[in-house]
Amino acid sequence: MRKLIGWAAIAFLAYTVFMCVYLFYLSDTSIPAQLKGSSVDPATFMTPRELLLSEEFSQIKNLLFFIAIPYKWLILILILCFGFSRKFSTWAAAISSKSFIQTAIYVFWFSFLTFILFFPLDFLGYEVSKRYRITTQTFQDWMKDQMTTFWLNYGLMLVIVFVVYILIRKFEKRWWLYAWLLSIPFTIFLTFIRPVIIDPLYNDFYPLKNKELETKILALAKEANIPAEHVYEVNMSEKTNSLNAYVTGIGSNSRIVLWDTTLNKLKEDEILFIMGHEMGHYVMKHIYFGVGGYLLLSLIGLYITRHLVVWIFRRGKDTLRIKDFTDISSLPLLLLVFSILSFAASPLTNAVSRFQEHKADEYAIEMIGNKQAAVSSFQKLTKAGLSQVNPPKLVKIFRYSHPTILERIDFIEKYEDGG
């Protein structure tokens, strides 16, 4: 156990040092010489101070992103090796003989401990965003969102864990397949209810006040065959200075949503371009491809997880303090393996997402036909979020679900010349 904890801690520290050196000293975020002075060059639309702040903020946020993932793995290893998982399982069994009650007790203590251990990193991320004036949210409101997320995740996790361990106990070899089959309607259901049940837990949604703009957006939606009767705005200015808009949901629950920060900081033609982009996702059914891709990867991930967990359990059950693979105390091991596999798959999922975002940009250009509005909207998005125009390669591969701003503006500028 001591060896495992020691090597895990050493690996985490070595990785953290490497990422610090890479992000702050080795990565090149400069603009290619041939693009200097063009609309891609942030020096043409950002002040020297904004350039400095965007570089600092991006470096820190990227570092926090890359640290957070292995830190989560380290937490799961420590929960296993120090016997917390086994202790939670023992407490739950002593309180009730009913499986659901035991699961509810275990999941609560496990969720609470991971929340506490991860809180310093979450709080640091909040403080960094607050310092650079990206986040406008008060600490009290931020904590309210944190607690909402905690209880929402607890409820979802309780249902999932309860069902998965029933399957593990009844179908030791094929539980992963049955779990995946049940995840299909569950995933579709969550996608369907998110716009009307989950999202309003965090923000207030109301019909767009600018009726003239709403009429123009709905005209675009009609042209794109999107079944929307209203455009919604959301009061994100209470939380952030960043800009965003989206089309979410499926079927009758589809919603067109604009952040009020977007309404306040972008011109009408820029907003229409952004909406054209979001409508492109709907028209090209990217949400369905996204759900399908997630289900396919989760099938592969669950299959590999099952075999890896059994292999690890047979060789290290005493070190990891796991009673039995069918006991809920093995949950951190399941989550650890699945999380590592998800991270390993992120370059692929991000690449697919970047392709879809590129196609949505192309759709918006064809639909709106306003090249200058497209360029200026991306420039303003960059300024508002203090984003890097040309991020380091590892950041793009593992973090970027959208093309870089450099790629997006450069594509738009060349589009009339043949794309």
Active site residues: 278
Q: Are 207 and 188 in contact (CB under 8 A)?
A: no
Q: Residue 206: helix, strand or coil by DSSP?
A: strand
Cβ–Cβ under 8 Å, residues 172 and 161: no
Q: Which two tokens stand for residue 302?
A: 């669950």
Question: 220 and 367 in contact (C-beta within 8 Å)?
Answer: yes
Distances (CA, A) of 97 to 90, 92, 103, 324: 11, 8, 11, 17
Helices (H), 250-390: 260-265, 268-283, 286-316, 331-368, 371-385
Closest by Cα among 310, 300, 335 to 173: 310
Among 285, 307, 254, residue whose Cα is nearest residue 360: 285
> Rounded to whole angstroms, how far apart are CA atoms 117 and 127?
17
Q: Please report where in the chains the tokens 């011109």 appear, as a residue.
A: 267
- For residues 4 and 77, the answer to whether their CB atoms sit within 8 Å is yes
Cα 348 to Cα 304: distance, rounded to the nearest angstrom: 17
CB 379 within 8 A of CB 273: no
